[in-house]
Chain A
Amino acid sequence: MSSSPPKKTTWSWRSRAVRGLIWQALALAAVLLLLGWLAVNTAHNLQARGIQSGFDFLLQPAGFDIGETVLSYDADRPYWQAFAAGVLNTLRVALLGCVLVTLLGTAVGAGRLSRHPLLRGLCTAYVELFRNIPLLLQLLMWYLLLAQALPAIGEARTLGPLALDKSGLAWVLNEAGDTLFTATPEFLALLLGLTLYTAAFVAEVVRAGISAVPGSQAEAAAALGLSRWQALRRVLLPQALRVIIPPLTNQYLNLTKNSSLAVAIGYPDVVSIANTALNQTGRALECIAIIMAVYLLSSLATALLMNWYNARAAIVER
């Protein structure tokens, strides 16, 4: 007959469990104390400076115009509609940017692995040039370049239904001047800057992904008589995609977050709107909280979407 040894709880300082508990309690206490201290300070400061707080200002009329909006908007609308217009503008540039970045980045990344020395050299030069210069500087340069180089209003350069002048790019439907869509120079500069900058990083991601596929796979594809393009499309890319998707998701998130630099060139994204609202109402806490909430939510949504896609692209093991 055997009996298990009696359970013994030791409450000794040398026990790992006890020390773990103490460490955790200390860390939690420190963080809670810090947060409490900050909250008390903030409450004091708000009271002392006579700053009103709360989100009630969202229902008051905003009183400022927005250069471009997806939905109709004017200065009499309440603040929350101004913020909504900003969020839509952010989403517009981010979504379009993600699509363009994928196309350009994949092309350049594949080009860096080409056997053609000229093509490879140009792609390498592009990547090194664009990712080693701060995005803000590139945005400022594109905006300045567009402001200087675009033809004056009335002397638009046209290509089919597209017309390009100082007021931006428009898809003109008829003589009366109805348009299918319009894009301001601010939007164009932001989209161009974000796309060219992020595509350099995406190209590196794609290149690393393709390089991660063992060379024997390319040789096997060649032995089967596939052309280089067929091998890329049918054998290498499907395998590379598994390596590519997680860092590509990161680049999409970076692009979305970097679209906040719109504030520097005056594109009315959510950060610009919040900045204007902050200066008008003085409610810094609320405006910055709105910015952070919007980006946190969009990051979360992108992450969920890409995780779902990643699960689809992953190897199905039998």
Chain B
Amino acid sequence: MTVYASIPPRPAPARPGGLYAWLRSRLIADLPTSLATLTLLALLAWWLPPLLDWAVWRAHFAPRFEPCAAEGAGACWGVVSEKYRFILLGRYPGGEQWRPLLATGLLLALLVASCLRRFWRRGLALLWLAVLALFLVLMHGGVAGLSRVETDLWGGLPLTLLLATVAIALAFPLALLVALGRRSQLPAIRALCVVYVELVRGVPLVSVLFTASFLFPLFLPQGSQIDVLLRVIAGLALFAAAYLAEVIRGGLQAVPRGQLEAAAALGLSWWQTQRRVVLPQALAAVLPGLMNHFIGIFKDTSLVTIVSLYELTGALSLALNSDADWRPYKLEAYLFIAALYFVFCYAMSRYSAWVEQQLRRSAAR
């Protein structure tokens, strides 16, 4: 009689832990992977050292242009330390520059505060109105002993922030109405909204800005003069609203029909249904898309330099074009404002990702 003895169990495989094993499995697992790793490393070795050499090792940071002109000199970051006032604040009169600084600081503080959950109260909207009013008073002056500064002297970062926030604030309510109108059962209202959205989305922003700059004065009654800043803000807002409306419409379509029927069964009116039932769900569904467009509007404000408003990009050209000593180092100055734009846009996109995560968590609960 045969006695079956079970063979002893195999030892568990050694756990492939640690950074080294992970890197090994990902970087040099087989021939194609290893080749890819080598190619990428070679590419980095080819690009990075000369770039670092130019940007850091051989660069000059002092606000003097003489050493930068020497043979073999790297980047001339001195242009930033020399011209930062002009780039950030434009042609705002020298003695009054605390005003745009304070205004920008207030607006930025409020922007950051609005992103934090603990400030999401009813008072926030009022606070926004107050701060925007204070911003305009500080910038424009003419009251409370502040000297008047006309809008054509505004520029730099305050102008960029003002254009972006006011354009978004005006565009959003309009976009809500247009999106609701496009889903309306009333054919005339739907047609009007479709024509508006498709017309605006079919043309480039440059043409809208040209319209605001050259044509708006023709459209208005004789003798009435509207500041070019206001015209450009109106153009930006009308342009942005068409795009936001399409995003919001996507959210409206995502709300299940049953929600509308339930609201009707409760006896809610059309406005109550939209306000209490549809919009909260629709907006939450498309929040990432909305944030993407907000970032887009922020970036698009750089285009107003084409119609001679000197926000960051325009202020930089203004600062360097008239100065033959520093003009050769325009690239460094461009990189500086590119970094500024990057910080703002990247922060917004990270924030958007965080909110999205919060929403997902609340949906799972």
Contact = CB atoms under 8 A, between A and B. Distances in A.
Interface of A: 20, 23-25, 27-28, 31, 38, 41-42, 44-46, 48, 115-119, 122, 128-129, 131-138, 140-141, 144-145, 148, 257-258, 260-261, 263-264, 271, 275, 278, 284-285, 288, 291-292, 295-296, 299-300
Contact of A140 (B218, B222, B313, B342): B313
A292 B36 contact: no
Contact of B331 (A115, A135, A145, A285): A145
A45 B36 contact: no
Interface string B198-223: 01011111110011001101111110
B334 interface: yes
A199 to B, nearest CB: 16
Contact of A300 (B202, B305, B306): B202
B331 A148 contact: yes
A271 B341 contact: no
A275 B209 CA distance: 12
A115 B26 contact: yes
Size class of the B contact interface (CB-based, 8 Å): 35 or more
B346 interface: yes
A133 B341 CA distance: 6
Nearest to A227: B32
B218 A42 contact: yes
A132 B199 contact: no
A44 B27 contact: no
B218 A285 contact: yes
Given A20-B185, A24-B187, A291-B210, A132 B306 contact: no
Contacts of B221: 41, 44
B204 A295 contact: yes
B246 to A, nearest CB: 10
Nearest to A149: B331
Contacts of A295: 202-204, 207
Contacts of A128: 346, 349
Contacts of A291: 203-204, 206-207, 210
Interface string B234-265: 00000000000000000000000000000000
Contact of A137 (B37, B210, B295, B341): B341
B345 A133 contact: yes
Nearest to B301: A134
18 contacts: A20-B186, A25-B188, A28-B192, A41-B220, A42-B219, A44-B221, A45-B219, A116-B37, A118-B27, A118-B36, A136-B303, A136-B305, A141-B338, A258-B204, A260-B207, A264-B306, A284-B214, A288-B214
Given A28-B192, A132-B342, A137 B207 contact: no
A110 to B, nearest CB: 13
A118 B204 contact: no
Given A128-B346, A137-B341, A257-B204, A24 B186 contact: yes
Interface of B: 23, 26-27, 33, 36-37, 40-41, 185-189, 192, 199, 201-207, 210-211, 214-215, 217-222, 295, 299-300, 302-303, 305-306, 313, 330-331, 334-335, 337-338, 341-342, 345-346, 349
Contacts of B204: 257-258, 260, 271, 291, 295
Given A24-B187, A31-B192, 6 more contacts: A20-B185, A28-B188, A28-B192, A38-B219, A118-B37, A136-B313
A119 B206 contact: no
Contacts of B33: 116
Contacts of A148: 331
Nearest to B347: A132
Contact of A119 (B40, B335, B346): B40
Nearest to A130: B342
B325 to A, nearest CB: 17
A261 B303 contact: yes
A28 B192 CA distance: 8
A284 B218 CA distance: 10
B203 A296 contact: yes
Contacts of A133: 299, 338, 341-342, 345
B215 A299 contact: no
Nearest to B221: A41
A48 B342 contact: no
Contacts of A258: 204
A183 to B, nearest CB: 22
Contacts of A31: 192
Contact of B188 (A24, A135, A296): A24
A298 to B, nearest CB: 9
B215 A284 contact: yes
A65 to B, nearest CB: 22
